[in-house]
Structure 1
């Protein structure tokens, strides 16, 4: 159901299957047109006074085009392998949150699409969600898996992970604005977040998307210090904190898309390892996860 009090701005919601098919058609239009024209040119040259040799010259630019296309796909596969390796390292280090990165990437992608972002930016937002916690590789495992609340000193160490993560990915050029999301996904709209206490529009849009996706999955997944909440409870908590902790646009987008497409959260911890009760209520510190 639509979110009361936090409507999306005009043009920010996708129109459903028609838009998806339209985008697919537009992406396919250019290569189909180019290949069709090349085929027509070959046919005309073949029947021209210059003969088959001239027609074969058309194959040269087509070969170059094929090579460039293959290079693009190899580069994309390398990008995916890089991200997969980083995420696997985080999952191995913190078994309680295994799968969390992929789910945050999925939720970030859903929000971005609901806001009407183009496909290239949606992909970047997916990368941002997947890599948002990569800085936890620099945090001691005992803090990530500690049962119960953290001490102030332990929390200060945990709160360094966005900066660690940014340092780790800053040289990966294809990530684009995803690097900003890694650094700022724990900032809050009212300026009480970390690491720099940015407020409002000072927080990059990519980070505001990932912040909502991250908090949502944290609340709907079992951790070493809290049990999973039902999806409606988590969405209601996000709505309660929209405008103070989270961008209302991002919250509204997530509520709309989950209401339409649904969400099936996975419990990331084994039942035997889960704690019987949460260390602190979610309503005390929404999004205050490790």
Structure 2
């Protein structure tokens, strides 16, 4: 207490000066319109700055929740696309929802880890058996084809990407319909190759490449990339085509896992096709 009294005695002149300044400023602001406007203007700027900071902080901490919501909404929108449905009535030329049943379902996932510089590349995503995921399902992103589910755990899954040796995606040219298999030579993570297209078919540079949908893993029409280079294979009547793929595996963060509800039926039926007699003789 004595220290407090000593403090006031020591700084009494300064404290009286401060008090008089506060009284003078209060009177000035109260009776001066200009001063009052200046104070209110300054207070508004300060409050606005504080609100901006609070909003920015709130948005930052809600960013993951917002992204999850957007991914879920995108998955729902993809399921409503006609390429995710199959038509029931083939004779009627109508575009009505009653003529379509859902064929492809989509589930959003976050990429936890991935590689792009190995001969066979994989990524880890944050959904697994607990979410209904199964091996062999297709994986895409908002840009294009990504890969196929390779291993499934309880809460995570491993996806084998198209940047791998033994993944062959059936693709086609958006213009013209010529189709072949997408492969990767293990060199450039942005460039893949297409094999199996006869060189008597006209293929133009910058032609867009899409999924053909023949395997049932992906719907028809998912972007793959664009043709950047073409040349004839020496000694074979085939094109050697290079494709700049749509997805950049160096920066990928979010994907969609695709379920084809009719895939088992399609594979069971195709499994009943009798083998070629020539193959039996071999």
TM norm structure 1: 0.24
More strand by share: 2
Please say which structure displays the higher CA radius of gyration.
Answer: 2
More helix by share: 1
The structure showing larger relative contact order (alpha-carbon pairs under 8 Å, at least 6 residues apart) is 1
